[in-house]
Structure 1
Amino acid sequence: MRQRVVRVAVVAALVAVVLLAVPLALAIRSALYADQRDTLERAALAGAVRVSPDYATGDPVELPAPPAGGRLGLYDPQARLRGGGGPATADAPVRRALGGAAVRGRSGGDLVVAVPVSHAEHVIGVVRASSPAAALRDRTLMAWAALLGVAVVALAVAVLVARRQARALAAPLEDLSRHCRAVTEGHLSARAAPSSIAEIDQVSRTHNEMLHSLSELLRREHDFAANASHQLRTPLAGLQLTLESGLEQGGDVRLRPVLVEALAATRRLHRTVEEVLRLSTTGAPPVTGTDGRPLGRVLRATEERWHGPFARVGRRLECSARGVPDDVPVPGGPVTEILDILLDNARVHGRGTARLAVRDLGDALAFDVTDEGRVDGPAERLFERGHSGGDRGTGIGLALARDLAVSLGGRLSLTGGAPTAFTLLVPVHHEGTPEETA
């Protein structure tokens, strides 16, 4: 921006200088030539006044001093030089002046003014005043050089002023740009400082007000997630204790499988609450593969959990991990939540057999969830929060799944529309299997 402001100012100053300097240079040249001709004419008139009619009979010719650097001479009607300085034979201006009128012109590189001398209504001679045109040309060039120097000084001043103004205009915008970069890096407390330019101050105030509104909105959302998670933890913990107590006390054998399934469901719900709380935390670090559980256990638990729901609607679920070691560590909590969302989406909106397959891509694992259904419309539309592909959806699941994938440093995308296929990419490390956490 600074260079653009300077460039515009310099171009404007250059145009102004050209529009003023060129006519002024022509005016200076014309004025110098006109002034010199006037000087010559006054010298010739002064000489014509002092010429006596008796000079033709031998009376001495007394002419005034010629102009500086010039010559002054008297010519008789026969075009001969009778006094003063000049060419021995009259030139064209003198011959025209013998006709009775003053003549201005050039002759032999000189500016010439010829004034006739009259007596008894007859022209008895001509006074010729001249000066070298080269001297006048040198004066014109000197004047133009001075004018050019003034123009250069004016342009230099314009550049200095333009650079100063460019700094004054660009500094607040650069400061605002730095604050915007700070905001993109997560520093929502950054605020733009006021400047001396009203328009930029208005933008800064709007920017600060926007940041304040965003900060308040994020704070309320974070507080809501934290409060909701905290309020859910207490009843979930109580429910888990109750179920565990029921299992320890024995009781009806027929209720034991139900209690075990209910206890597993509460533990999954507890993990879901923890993941949602982690995801809502501003600046939460990505979960790495070394913080999770072995892949084999995650797949077996997922298959056991979803085999029943698919069987109840008359559909099959197939899970496989061909060529992938069972002990590869994956972030079990987030991956489990994403797979649960994708399988539930396949159960509700899909058709036919659902398949969960894992592929090894070297530094990442690809989890492919497919079914025999069909997806219409843009792929990105599916992941928009609030958009649902059917009447039974809320439009939150796939959006939450993508956010969880991003928090892992991975990616979730629709890789097939007919049949439906979703692919989750999760970065992993193959150094070894960590100890399982309870």
Structure 2
Amino acid sequence: MRQRVVRVAVTAVLVALVLLAIPLALAIRSSLYADQRDTLERAALAAAVRVNPDYRTGDPAELPSPGAGERLGLYDPELALRAGGGPRGGDAAVRRALRGVIARDRTGGELVVAVPVSHAEEVIGVVRVSSAVSAVRDRVLLGWAALLGAAVLALTVAVLVARRQARVLAAPLEDLSRHSRAVTEGDLTARAAPSTIAEIDQVARTHNDMLHSLSELLRHERDFTANASHQLRTPLTGLQLTLEAGLAQDDDRLRPVLEEALAATRRLHHTVEEVLRLAGSPGPPHRTVPDRPVARLLEETEERWHGLFAQDGRRLDCAVQDAPAGVRVPGGPVAEILGVLLDNARTHGHGSVRVAVRDLDDALAFDVADEGTLRTGPARLFARGHTGAGTGGTGIGLALARDLAVSLGGRLFLAGGDPTTFTLLVPVRQEEPAGQSGPPLG
């Protein structure tokens, strides 16, 4: 911004200088030439009044001394030089002056003024005064040099003033930018300081008000997350303990039901943990999400969802196409994303559902496809609150799955609409021998 302010100011000054300097330079030139002609005319008039009318009969003609760089001469009506200096024969200016008018001319590198000498209403001679054009040209060049110096001085002052004003204007904006970067890095206590510029102060106040509103909104969301964390974890833990206590009772009739309920409760507990992790829930330090082999993950997914699809008379196939057996993925989040996609396929899809895993070197691609047709746009499909019943898409589930994928450094997207196919990309790492460790690939 500083450079832009300086450029604007300098451009404005340059335009003003050009618009003023060119007419002023022409005025200086015209004025100096006119002044020199006026000086020559005054000298010629002063000499004309001193000319003796009897100079033609032999009396000496008394002429004043010419000025520096000037030549002064007296010519008779026959254009002959009778006294002083000048060309031996009268020129065009002398001939015009013999007609009783003051003549001005520029010839032979000289400025010439010729004044008629009259006696008894008769022109008896002409006084001619001349000076070199180069002398006037030198004065014009000096005037132009002074004008250029003044323009350079004005431009220098303009640049200095513009730079100072640019600093004054840019400083509060740069301060606002620093505070915005601090907010981006997580410091919600940063506030923009007031300045002396009303418009920038208005922007700063709006920024601070917006930041205050965002801080309050985030505080409410943190409080809600903390409350949800407590209110959900405690009953789920109690329910798990109750089911485990029921399993301790040796009742073969209730054991399958209790085991299924306990498995569902554990899945619900894992789902709550993933949602709270994604929301940045306060509380105990976050533990690293454990990795699981992709083959084992698909087996668990098929065990969980096979019966549900079978109840609807539909088929579920899970297959690892070319991924090595040692490839591991974050178990909980990937299982939750696959659960959302399979639930979406069961609710809104048609026909058989296939889950396939493809190896992409540093990532795995999980493809979940059914035999339905999707007509909803991808942007609307992942929008929270949108439900796509009958079109293959749903709202908050897909949005949550997408956020979970991003939290893993992966991506969830719609790969095809006919048939409906969702693809989940997940960075992976190879299972390493015991005693070796290294960072995840990708």
Q: TM-score by structure 2 length? A: 0.91
Deviation at 1:122, TM superposition (A): 1.9
Say whether residues 1:280 and 2:262 are aligned partners: no
> Structure 1 residues 287 and 238 mapped into 2: Cα distance closer, same or farther (>3 Å)?
closer
Work out the number of aligned pairs and report it: 433
Q: How does 1:80-159 map to 2 (within 5 A)?
A: 80-159=80-159
More moved, 337-346 vs 194-203: 194-203
Amino acid in structure 2 at the alignment position of 1:234: T
1:357 equivalent in structure 2: 356
1:32 equivalent in structure 2: 32
Kept after mapping to 1: 8 A contact 2:326/2:431? no
Distance 1:247 1:341 in 2: 29
Amino acid in structure 1 at the alignment position of 2:66: P
Q: What per-residue deviation string (whole Å, max 9, x for no partner) do you get for residues 345-369 of structure 1? A: 1111111222222222222122221
Deviation at 1:15, TM superposition (A): 1.6
> Structure 1 residues 361 and 433 mapped into 2: Cα distance closer, same or farther (>3 Å)?
farther
2:428 equivalent in structure 1: 428
Distance 2:31 2:335 in 1: 95
More moved, 21-30 vs 99-108: 99-108
Distance 1:35 1:232 in 2: 101
Q: What SS does the aligned partner of 1:253 have?
A: coil
Distance 2:107 2:363 in 1: 98
- What's the RMSD between the two structures over aligned residues? 2.6
Q: What SS does the aligned partner of 1:254 have?
A: coil
1:346 equivalent in structure 2: 345
Q: How does 1:4-403 map to 2 (within 5 A)?
A: 4-250=4-250, 252-281=251-280, 291-390=290-389, 395-403=395-403
Amino acid in structure 2 at the alignment position of 1:313: D
Distance 2:414 2:100 in 1: 107
> Structure 1 residues 99 and 393 mapped into 2: Cα distance closer, same or farther (>3 Å)?
closer
Q: Which has the higher contact order (CA 8 A, sep 6+)?
A: 1
Q: What per-residue deviation string (whole Å, max 9, x for no partner) do you get for residues 130-178 of structure 1? A: 1111211111121112112212222222223223333333333333334
Distance 1:188 1:76 in 2: 101
Q: Which runs of 4+ in 1 moved over 4 A?
A: 282-289, 391-394
Deviation at 1:292, TM superposition (A): 2.0
Distance 1:287 1:353 in 2: 37
Deviation at 1:124, TM superposition (A): 2.0
Kept after mapping to 2: 8 A contact 1:69/1:131? yes
> Structure 1 residues 406 and 434 mapped into 2: Cα distance closer, same or farther (>3 Å)?
farther
Q: What SS does the aligned partner of 2:430 have?
A: coil
Amino acid in structure 1 at the alignment position of 2:235: P
Amino acid in structure 1 at the alignment position of 2:376: G
Distance 1:79 1:327 in 2: 122
Amino acid in structure 2 at the alignment position of 1:341: V
More moved, 406-415 vs 373-382: 373-382
Deviation at 1:286, TM superposition (A): 11
Distance 1:40 1:232 in 2: 110
Gaps of 5+ in 1: none
Distance 1:282 1:74 in 2: 112
Q: TM-score by structure 1 length? A: 0.91
Distance 1:160 1:104 in 2: 48
Distance 1:431 1:347 in 2: 33
Distance 2:287 2:160 in 1: 55
Deviation at 1:260, TM superposition (A): 0.8
> Structure 1 residues 393 and 36 mapped into 2: Cα distance closer, same or farther (>3 Å)?
closer
> Structure 1 residues 305 and 86 mapped into 2: Cα distance closer, same or farther (>3 Å)?
same
2:439 equivalent in structure 1: none
Q: What SS does the aligned partner of 1:56 have?
A: helix
Distance 1:74 1:328 in 2: 118
Kept after mapping to 1: 8 A contact 2:357/2:365? yes
Amino acid in structure 1 at the alignment position of 2:231: Q
Q: What per-residue deviation string (whole Å, max 9, x for no partner) do you get for residues 172-197 of structure 1? A: 33333344344444444333333332
Distance 1:336 1:272 in 2: 9
Kept after mapping to 2: 8 A contact 1:48/1:117? yes
Q: What SS does the aligned partner of 2:79 have?
A: coil
Gaps of 5+ in 2: 436-442
Deviation at 1:378, TM superposition (A): 0.9
Amino acid in structure 1 at the alignment position of 2:313: G
Identity %: 73
Amino acid in structure 2 at the alignment position of 1:9: A
Q: What SS does the aligned partner of 1:266 have?
A: helix
2:440 equivalent in structure 1: none
Q: What per-residue deviation string (whole Å, max 9, x for no partner) do you get for residues 10-31 of structure 1? A: 2221221111111111111111
Distance 2:309 2:433 in 1: 31
Amino acid in structure 1 at the alignment position of 2:136: L
Kept after mapping to 2: 8 A contact 1:40/1:67? no
Amino acid in structure 1 at the alignment position of 2:375: D
Distance 2:434 2:357 in 1: 20
> Structure 1 residues 397 and 357 mapped into 2: Cα distance closer, same or farther (>3 Å)?
same
2:409 equivalent in structure 1: 409
Deviation at 1:88, TM superposition (A): 2.3
Deviation at 1:214, TM superposition (A): 1.9
Distance 1:313 1:408 in 2: 33
Amino acid in structure 2 at the alignment position of 1:301: E
